[in-house]
Structure 1
Amino acid sequence: MPHHPNLDRELAAALDRFEMPFPDLSTLTAEDLPEMRAQAAAMYAATAVDDPLVTIEERWAQGPEGAPDVRLRVYRSAGAADGPLPCLYWIHGGGMIVGTPDADDALVGRFVKEVGCVVVSVDYRLAPEHPDPAPVEDCYAGLAWTAKNAAELGIDPARVAVGGASAGGGLAAGTVLLARDRGGPAVAYQLLVCPMLDDRDNTPSTLEFESAVVWARAANVFGWTSLLGDRKGTDDVSPYAAPARAEDLSGLPPAFIDVGELEVFRDECLLYAQRLSQAGVSTEFHLYAGAFHGFDLIIPDAEVSRQAGAARIVALRRALLA
């Protein structure tokens, strides 16, 4: 597939050096998911590196009513001073259909080291086996557990941010809406990295990116359909599942949103940032020219990738350490 004419030149050159093409997700089906998840797990196992500067502890939170307990991974600096420390409650990506918190070890380890915070990462149930509201309710249950056990974890409950990437960014936004509407836990900040926010598939960027480096329109439709089934695109979708549907964004914590120019999520992120700001929510927004979905994870050494990673660190430090 030829490159998009707006693709960042450094990203394009790196893609040209890749020996293996990215998988074609345009015909993804539920039958493909077991192999896809197994391949992702094998890739993580092959590339995982223990970081002596970060300790990881497994904990379990009580799940939503009638549901299993929720696995959490708690990351902290190996040499951290006694708390209370700020916390980033993190939600992994994967289109609602794949992913585990373990695969984000390196990513959240950077937050631990450079922000000076504790990270709690949640292992929510995946669609289509566990459709909405299971994923967002798992995320909320883990957040509630984190707030309840803040003292034991060495966390300052007044300095808890909720963040995530891609589907995790959408779940983070939904979890923050739930926290507001249920009267807690308190959330100081939301860090939404290329979030998946809108199931309606009707923005210009969803129509534009029938083809994309990663996560084109067909894959996005499959992800939302896995989560929502026949409700996708109808009026019977909760804003906690698709936060772009929330009519009232007032009273939410300050927000950071970023997204690439060349991805399906571009316009829904633009609109969500605009609506947050119009609702009186202090919002920082970054649109990375020439960047595709997940560019910073796939090509981390590119200048635009370093810029994106640094901006998130700066935003969290300002929000949690000021």
Structure 2
Amino acid sequence: MALHLVDPQLHSLVEEFEALKSVPIEPDALRKVIEAQASTAPPMLRPNVIEQKLCMPGPSGPVELLVFSAKGAPSLAPGILFIHGGGYIAGSPESSKAQAIEIAAELKGVVVCARYRLAPECPAPGPLEDCYAALKWLWESSDVLGIDQNRVGVWGVSAGGGLAAALCLLARDRGEIPLAAQLLNYPMLDDRTVERRLPDHFGAFVWTRAWNKCGWEAYLGHEAGLDDVSHYASPARAEDLSSLPPTMMATASLDLFLDENMTYAHRLLKTGIPTEVHVAQGAFHAFETAAETDIVKQSMRKRYDWMRRVLKIV
């Protein structure tokens, strides 16, 4: 146990997450845990944010959306596609609703969350294509939503961060939607991490090596770490990182993904992509659950401030 490396403010959160150790390493079990957490979470009281539930055509049927719009936002507001986490095998717009509402309020904009399909029932590239369809809908609905097409970005958490990174690669390659920003929050970028030797304290809490193996193999539909894996599934495999939007890499010093996150950020910088990196010291995967702690408030403030600068939000 690497508890001595954890910020004291997060010790109680470590205890809360201890229950995960008894959960079977399989998708349905994780889904039940995340759904239970979402159902018992206190409501996010932001009267200045309007919530809508919509449906749009997707690549393989309708895709459900939750849309959060800040009251009093400028007529041409920033638009964010927020992509929830869950290891590619779990999670939903509801599980990340509180953060989406907070983003809409802080950025005085419109935040769209898609109910993308999950692995193993729908492996890659299905979830990414759902997210692309949601991004395209956001872009093409800019007049109705009151969004400035020059200020559209993506924000993804964990597996959602991996999807956000892949989405930026896909949007660049298809040439339909110019993105202004990508915020990658401890993104799940590289299936090869499953086989890498890492310090024991990387992934000691919450998202462990066992869960990572489960998530990647469900998403890929085969063993992780093989040679023939698309960079749209595992963005760290992309050879060309040019022409991507300004990036913030927000990760944590005890996260299993720290190494792959830092490597990706370094490659972006070497390519000339404006990239800002923030490593929350003494923090681990999903540490933002402890929303009232100073470490979380400071980390979130850095993300909001960066997004305001990049999207020119006054």
TM range (shorter): over 0.9
Determine whether 1:8 maps to 2:1: no
Q: Deviations over 1:28-53 (max 9, x none)?
A: 035xx1x4423432332232415322
Instruction: Give the distance between the partners of 1:282 and 1:302, measured in 2 at CA.
Output: 29
CA RMSD of aligned residues (A): 1.9
Aligned match of 1:70 in 57, 60, 63? 63
Question: Which amino acid counterpart does residue 4 of structure 2 have in structure 1?
Answer: P
Instruction: Give the distance between the partners of 1:88 and 1:19, measured in 2 at CA.
Output: 31
Determine whether 1:236 maps to 2:231: no
User: Normalising to structure 2: TM-score of the pair?
Assistant: 0.93
Instruction: Give the distance between the partners of 2:129 and 2:90, measured in 1 at CA.
Output: 17
What's the counterpart of residue 72 of structure 2? 80
* Equivalent residues in 2 for 1:43-192, closer than 5 Å: 43-49=37-43, 51=45, 52-64=47-59, 67-77=60-70, 79-81=71-73, 83-192=75-184
What's the counterpart of residue 310 of structure 1? 301
Aligned match of 1:21 in 4, 18, 21? 18
Q: Are 1:96 and 1:126, in contact at CA under 8 Å, matched by a contact in 2?
A: yes
Q: Are 1:83 and 1:154, in contact at CA under 8 Å, matched by a contact in 2?
A: yes
* Equivalent residues in 2 for 1:180-219, closer than 5 Å: 180-201=172-193, 202-205=195-198, 208-209=200-201, 212-219=204-211
Task: Indicate the SS of the match to 2:187.
Answer: coil
What's the counterpart of residue 291 of structure 2? 300
Instruction: Give the distance between the partners of 1:48 and 1:293, measured in 2 at CA.
Output: 21
Cα distance, 1:225 vs. partner? 0.4
Q: Which runs of 4+ in 1 moved over 6 A?
A: none
Shift in alpha-carbon separation, 1:269–1:131, aligned structure 2, 3 A: same
Question: Which amino acid counterpart does residue 21 of structure 2 have in structure 1?
Answer: D
Cα distance, 1:290 vs. partner? 1.2
Question: Which amino acid counterpart does residue 316 of structure 1 have in structure 2?
Answer: M
User: Normalising to structure 1: TM-score of the pair?
Assistant: 0.91
Shift in alpha-carbon separation, 1:23–1:246, aligned structure 2, 3 A: same
Instruction: Give the distance between the partners of 1:181 and 1:172, measured in 2 at CA.
Output: 14
Cα distance, 1:106 vs. partner? 1.2
Number of aligned residue pairs: give it. Answer: 311
Q: Are 2:186 and 2:252, in contact at CA under 8 Å, matched by a contact in 1?
A: yes
Shift in alpha-carbon separation, 1:125–1:209, aligned structure 2, 3 A: farther
Instruction: Give the distance between the partners of 1:128 and 1:107, measured in 2 at CA.
Output: 26
Structure 2 residues without counterparts, runs of 5 or longer: none
Task: Indicate the SS of the match to 1:200.
Answer: helix
Aligned match of 1:227 in 208, 219, 225? 219
Question: Which amino acid counterpart does residue 310 of structure 2 have in structure 1?
Answer: A
Question: Which amino acid counterpart does residue 35 of structure 2 have in structure 1?
Answer: A
Instruction: Give the distance between the partners of 1:203 and 1:197, measured in 2 at CA.
Output: 14
Q: Are 2:17 and 2:206, in contact at CA under 8 Å, matched by a contact in 1?
A: no
* Equivalent residues in 2 for 1:261-280, closer than 5 Å: 261-280=253-272
Aligned match of 1:248 in 240, 243, 251? 240
Question: Which amino acid counterpart does residue 145 of structure 1 have in structure 2?
Answer: W
Q: Deviations over 1:47-73 (max 9, x none)?
A: 241532211111222212xx1121111
Task: Indicate the SS of the match to 2:221.
Answer: helix
Instruction: Give the distance between the partners of 2:268 and 2:203, measured in 1 at CA.
Output: 29
